[in-house]
Amino acid sequence: MIDLSDKIAVVTGAAQGIGLAIAKKLAAAGYHLALVARNEDRLVSAATQLTGDVQVKTYPGDIADWEKVQAITEAVKQDFGAIWGLVNNAGVTKDGLFVRMKPEDWQQVMDVNLNGTFYFTRAVAPLMMRQREGRIINISSVIGLTGNAGQANYAASKAGIIALTKSVARELGSRSVTVNAIAPGFITTDMTADLSEQVKADMLQQIPLKRFGDGKDVAGLVTFLLSQDAAYITGQTLICDGGMVR
Sign of CA dihedral 127, 240, 65, 107: positive
pLDDT at 170: 98
pLDDT at 1: 41
Assigned domain for 8 exists: yes
Assigned domain for 139 exists: yes
Predicted TM-score (pTM) of this structure:
0.95
pLDDT at 225: 98
Closest CA to 185 of 149, 146, 235, 224: 146
Bridge partners, residue 183, by sequence? 239
Range of the domain at 137: 4-236
- H/E stretch holding 124: helix 116-131
Block means of pLDDT (10 residues each) for the chain, 246 residues, are 70 97 97 97 97 95 98 97 97 96 98 98 97 97 95 97 98 98 91 75 90 95 97 98 91
Residue 148 phi, psi dihedral angles, 5° rounding:
-165, 135
Sign of CA dihedral 221, 223, 225, 229: negative
Q: How many structural domains compose the chain?
A: 1
pLDDT at 150: 94
Determine the Cα–Cα distance for residues 142 and 52; give it in Å rounded to an integer.
Answer: 32
Assigned domain for 209 exists: yes
Assigned domain for 115 exists: yes
CATH of the domain at 19: 3.40.50.720
Assigned domain for 199 exists: yes
- H/E stretch holding 106: helix 103-109
Active site residues: 154
pLDDT at 5: 54
Assigned domain for 245 exists: no
